[in-house]
Amino acid sequence: MPGKRSSRGSAKGRAARKSLSVGGWIAVLTTAVVIGTSLTAYAAYYDIYGNIEQQNINTDAFGDRPSRVEGAMNIMVIGSDIRTGENGEYGEAEGQRPDTLIIAHISPNNGRATLVNLPRDLMVDLPACEGQGDTAGMPAQRGMINSPMSLGGVQCQWKAVETITGVHIDHFVSVDFTGFKGIVNSLGGVRMCIPEPIDDPKAKLHLEAGEQKLNGEESLGYMRSRYGQGDGSDVSRIERQQEFLGAMLNQVMQGEILSRPSTITGFLSSVTETMTTDDELTLEVMTDLAISMREVDLGNINFVTAPNGADPTDSNRLALSQPQASELFETIAKDQSITGDDGGKGGGDGGGSGEEKAQVEPGDISVEVLNGEGTPGLADQVGQWLTTEGFQVANTGNPVQVPAQTTIYHGPGKKAHAQALADEAVNATVEENPNLGDTVQLVLAQDWDGFTSTAGESSGGGAGGVDGTTAKEAKQQCG
């Protein structure tokens, strides 16, 4: 559809990119740490802080670690799917593994926060790691990004995330299903717009359509529900999860939760009862972070998912899409804005300076769209979208050879033109072809996943090609 991500590209991306089953809700823990520690002035907070279980993490055992940027903080947020105790009603699971894994990048000096979802089905090269507690540890191997937790505990999961992303992790926060329900109930529920009736027995969720307030059990079901909503994919589910988290953050930060000691106390008691952190995430650290982040606008809290596509060796698993994933991680590691509002662009060859890009408008770019993805009519559909965005579409057709990744080929002196087009795509790499003239070629491969314009303002900036939204955009009402 013009102005939208191509239907085939979108559907294919949703089917291939199995993302998160509990999803973005876990990031509220980081927000609770940020906004809740303003309760320091009340003696009750010290009792609440005592609710938190803490672990010692020996980061010295990691060896060489990514550099840390002064003034920024990165928290590894874990949604545990351990099914013991009160969580047993949600089924059985082997060991303890992250059902949700997020890097929460908090930048007080710049007044923003970015939460990067790392899909649990990502296949990555995992580093060797010594075990923690009763775990044996693991040798270096290729496996799912969430497997180090069950093999070597939080310490191995921490090391793996740092190694894979190149982002220095300062702390970790973990919570389970029961903890999430308690958080929602402490808020008195979260108001959401349910566009269509939901009947999902697997998630124990039955809701009528319309605007309504979800309690803790309903909210957990909404986060876990997959087949009862949308197209049944994890990608569509993560979009709903971001909407829910946006509604929750709006309610916490703009409602009465922070206005009275009694409501803050109840909220934080629920947050901390099932929370585990590292022992260096102290009361003083939380307090300093909260004070510096109290005035952050919801529009500067961004939610994104690490760019990914189907793993070449297993269609049921995912692989990071490059160079987009590396660009995103480097942007976070350098404490730059993913929206490009501070002039930063993370990683990769970038494709020209900001000055060069500013001189290239869509109307200056002649594009040939070649369909190597295989869906009939996809090149015409993409060409129509580009035309509505002001690009000059010279031709559509099929390529002689199909690259492994969606690629934009350009002739000598046209790199900035190709990069400007690449910035509009979720996943496209740039490569020079000396035989081309003024027209660049967009060759759609099997990993084609549409355009970033459908993902909100946060997707079009510094990291290039990253799906995302902001807490302010996620706020929704019916009608």
Domain ranges of the chain: 7-340, 354-451
What is the DSSP-derived secondary structure letter of residue 213? E
- Could you report the per-residue pLDDT of 71-111, keeping only the tens digit for each? 899 999 887 655 334 434 434 444 466 777 889 999 988 88
Pairing of β 53-55 and β 276-278: parallel
Could you name the CATH architecture of 354-451?
Answer: 2-Layer Sandwich (3.30)
**One-letter amino acid of 407:** T
- Could you report the per-residue pLDDT of 155-206, keeping only the tens digit for each? 999 999 999 999 999 999 887 767 778 778 878 888 888 888 888 888 788 8
In angstroms, the CA 143 to CA 421 distance is: 34
In angstroms, the CA 390 to CA 424 distance is: 12
What is the DSSP-derived secondary structure letter of residue 451? B
Rounded percentage of the chain residues whose pLDDT exceeds 70: 67
> For residues 47 and 266, is the Cβ–Cβ distance under 8 A?
no
Residues pairing with 98 in the sheet: 80
Phi, psi of 465 (to 5 degrees): 65, 40
Q: How far is CA 74 from CA 70, 77, 119, 256, 430, in A?
A: 11, 9, 18, 28, 30
- Could you report the per-residue pLDDT of 359-402, keeping only the tens digit for each? 688 888 999 999 998 888 788 888 888 887 888 999 899 988 89
- Could you report the per-residue pLDDT of 301-351, keeping only the tens digit for each? 788 888 888 888 988 888 999 999 999 999 999 999 887 655 333 333 333
Whether 416 has a pLDDT exceeding 70, the answer reads: yes
Whether 53 has a pLDDT exceeding 70, the answer reads: yes
Which CATH superfamily does the domain covering 7-340 fall into? LCP protein (3.40.630.190)
**pLDDT-derived band at 42, boundaries 50, 70, 90:** very low
C-beta neighbour count of 88 within 10 angstroms:
13
- Alpha carbons within 13 angstroms on the beta-carbon side of residue 53 total 8
Residue 151 CA to its chain's centroid (Å): 24
Integer Rg of the chain from CA: 22
pTM: 0.63
> For residues 476 and 193, is the Cβ–Cβ distance under 8 A?
yes
User: What's the whole-number mean pLDDT along residues 291-298?
Assistant: 67
How high is the pLDDT of residue 253? 66
pLDDT greater at residue 52 or residue 144:
144
pLDDT greater at residue 152 or residue 12:
152
